Amino acid sequence: MTDLIAQAGIAEGSPRVDAAQSVWSLRGRRFRSHGGGMASLVILAVLVLFCLAAYPLEQYLGLDSNATDLFSRYDPPSALHWLGTDEAGRDELLRLMYGGQISLLVGLLATVIGGAVGVTLGLIAGYFGGKLDALLMRVTDGVIALPLLPLLIVLAALDLTKLGFSSEFAHSGAASFWRIIVIIALVDWTSIARLVRAATLSVKERDYILAARASGAGSAYVMATHVLPNIVTPIIVAFTLTVGRVILFESVLSFLGFGIVPPTPSWGNMLNNAQELVTTAPALAVYPGLLIFITVIAVNFLGDGMQHAFDPRSERR
């Protein structure tokens, strides 16, 4: 075998000879060659570690991130408060870290839930086609055509007690946390649904689907086992880009006062009193937004890198 290869003039060990190279290792290599994607991965890892370091730092400094101290409002950075204090005397750095945990968690959960809805609807619409597809696409187009922020604000302002929940649940922090996740998932599933539907349509005609159905496989089985794994790459890219969008949504809602309610910190609601901060403590107005900006731009670059890695035809950067 090797003398045949030597005759053909191919160097030993070159990629074309390694027959057992998987698609995923090829994609990994292409991803690693994308500078922006790799840098974003590092930045996001650093950000996650930064947020997770909240509890250890709190213990180390001996502070309580929720303890207000109105005598030390807007303190400049010191040995105890590395970034100073905010308008209620709480440590700014710790609040940024805990806020990051909440913001990132909301981003991930809302993406996963909304994405699950979108994938399901897209699969059903693409696989079954016909009237069901037409109906689902009309609904999707309808939702896409709506102004999202005003709608989100109304959804966030709903009185949960009118829906039958108990009064103490409606006013709890957990309710506000889950509410924002649910409403973002409720409006943000449309782009993933369209993507999945298009991908399903292209996969539906393949022979292995026909073979599975001929062998008597049920629709759900075929969708889950044959269609889904083959459309997973655009879904991964779409999920990544959705995280960025969702983080922005959550920050706007929290900033406007309709998302995570204080005292639970979130990068958005730390800018609640932004106009005040501009004249009294400008640095405090910059930090949370800067962190949101860095996170979202890193996530977008990551999605771009993944797109470059997965799609053999996308242009070289």
Q: Which residues of the shown chain bind other proteins in the complex (CB under 8 A)?
A: 138, 141-142, 145-151, 153-155, 157-159, 161-163, 244, 248, 251-252, 255-257, 268, 271, 274-275, 278-279, 282, 285-286, 288-290, 292-293, 296-297, 299-301, 304, 315-317
Q: Distance of CA 171 to CAs 19, 44, 95, 249, 271, Å?
A: 60, 33, 22, 22, 22
Closest separation in Å from C-beta 124 to other proteins: 21
| Contact predicate 66/81, CB 8 Å | no
- How far apart are CB 289 and other proteins at their closest, in Å? 3
Q: Quick one: 42 or 154, whose CB is closer to other proteins?
A: 154
CB 63, min distance to other proteins, A: 26
Neighbours of 193 (CB within 10 A): 28
CA dist 118 → 20, 105, 110, 156 (Å): 35, 19, 12, 21
Q: How far apart are CA 309 and CA 29, in angstroms?
A: 8
**Shortest separation between residue 14's beta carbon and other proteins, angstroms:** 27
Residue number with CB closer to other proteins (142 or 263): 142
Taking the complex as a whole, the smallest distance from the CB of residue 132 to other proteins amounts, in Å, to: 18
312/123 Cα distance (integer angstroms): 24
Determine phi and psi for 91, rounding to 5 degrees: -70, 130
In the bound state with other proteins, the residue whose beta carbon lies nearer, of 102 and 223, is 102
CB of 107 to other proteins, least distance (A): 13
> Burial letters for 41-65: b for 16+ Cβ neighbours within 10 Å, e otherwise?
bebbeebeebbeebeebbeebebeb
Nearer to other proteins, 127 or 301 (CB): 301
